Amino acid sequence: MTRLFLRALALVCLPLILSPAWADLDSKPNSLDLYSHQVEGFTTANGSLIAFVVEADGEITYRKETTPGSREWAKRKSLDVYGRWLMPIEHADGRITVFIIGTVGNVLSYITQTAPDSEEWTREKELKGSYGQQIQPVTYADGRVALFFLDMGKEIGVIEETAINSGNFNKQKLLGLNANRFEVGFHADGSIDIAMIGLIAKVLTHAKMDANGEWKESDIKGAYANDISFQNSLDGSLHLFFIDAGTEVARIDMTQPELKIHEMGFNGNDIETVRGADGAIEIIIVGTMANILGYSRQVSPDVLEWGKEKEMKGYAKWLSAVETTGDSVLFTAAPLFSEVFIY
């Protein structure tokens, strides 16, 4: 759900503007007149926010800010494609590609802007022979886009762009890693880390590529997870935030050799993280009581301490946080009515 060298990822959706002080938590949300079981927020090449949604019939649509930061929204537009799930990513030249899990057979496909900030899109293209139940697009350090996915046999694979900005993709490569769910993160040196919730007892492991180009999976002693989210500190160091096998929120600093588990002192059912305008990491959770939203904010971008959890004025079932140049924005999907809102 995040951007870490990448940009990173049913029912009422409440995007919230996150200022360093979270000053607007008591403000009432405005409806975007969209209805969805999934919403993914994104920032376009010119800085405008865009909300992609999968509607009840599977149609993929979006609304875009008329000008950056205005919070005024253009009319709903359709991509004329259908799917179960979507995830957007930006190419080095500013064009957006939306990856899709299809409604028939979970076929993976994609659709791309013809130019940065354009309202014109290419036709949908299938990633032939590739099927998935989870997807996460990323941007490599060399600028190429890649799609990590969990296939129907629960093995993680990757499909890589042939060249920077080409919009064409190589055949899939399976990594020999199995999971119920995964999350891809990047270390400060550009190396990739994959966190995985295991097939048995929700054991949390991670994998990195060795010197021979092979993926090596390692245990994280005593770690079990229901939900996971990678986020980078301002200095580039990588942290894994997760909901443990109960409901406790915890953190692992992935640069530390011992991979110690740090309990955060609050609980949740789902988790999302984002960096604020000052670089501090913000944790947003779906609470254990009635899906009430809560958050905790890093006390300073260079200190690994977080403030107490605070309750927000909203309810959620899905979280999608977005970094922008001026603040951070959170889109959420809540349990009732499917309507999309923004604070």
Give 328's pLDDT tier (boundaries 50, 70, 90). Answer: confident
Token pair 């942290």 in the structure block, residue: 239
Q: Which two tokens stand for residue 207?
A: 């994998």
Q: Tokens 């999350």 identify what position? A: 183
Q: How far, in Å, CA of 119 to CA of 61, rounded? A: 12
For residue 334, is pLDDT > 70? Answer: no
Neighbours of 289 (CB within 10 A): 9
Residue 192 identity (one-letter amino acid): I
Which pair of structure tokens corresponds to residue 111?
A: 């659709």
Confidence at residue 230, expressed as pLDDT on a 0 to 100 scale: 98
Does domain 16-342 bear CATH number 2.130.10.10?
A: yes
Measured distance CA(127)–CA(195) in Å, rounded: 24
How far is residue 243's CA from residue 264's CA, in Å, rounded to a whole number?
10
Q: With a cut of 90, say whether residue 21 has pLDDT above it.
A: no
Taking alpha carbons only, the member of 182, 87, 79 closest to residue 127 is: 87
| pLDDT band of 333, cuts 50, 70, 90 | low
Q: What is the dihedral of CA 201, 274, 160, 187, to 10 degrees?
A: -80
Burial class (CB in 10 A: 0-12, 13-18, 19+), 336: exposed
Report how far residue 83's alpha carbon sits from residue 25's, in angstroms, rounded to the nearest whole number. 33
pLDDT tens digits for range 145-196: 999 999 999 999 999 999 999 999 999 999 999 999 999 999 999 999 999 9
User: Domain boundaries in the chain?
Assistant: 16-342
Q: pLDDT at position 322, please? A: 85
Confidence of residue 128 (pLDDT cuts 50, 70, 90): very high
Question: Terminus-to-terminus CA distance in the chain, angstroms?
Answer: 20
Which of 208, 160, 210, 201 shows the shortest CA–CA distance to 179? Answer: 201
Q: What is residue 269's DSSP assignment?
A: S
Residue 237 structure tokens:
């160091």
Contact between residue 293 and residue 316 where contact means Cβ atoms under 8 Å apart? yes
Dist CA 75 CA 73 (whole Å): 7
Average pLDDT, the chain: 88
* Range with the poorest average pLDDT among 5-19, 105-119, 223-237, 276-290: 5-19
Give the pLDDT mean for 5-11: 33
Q: Where does the pLDDT of residue 18 fall: very low under 50, low under 70, confident under 90, or very high at 90 and above?
A: very low
pLDDT score, position 71: 85
pLDDT tens by residue, 277-325 = 889 999 999 889 888 888 999 999 999 999 999 888 777 777 788 887 6
Q: Which helix (H) or strand (E) holds 230?
A: strand 227-232
Indicate if the pLDDT at residue 86 is higher than 70: yes
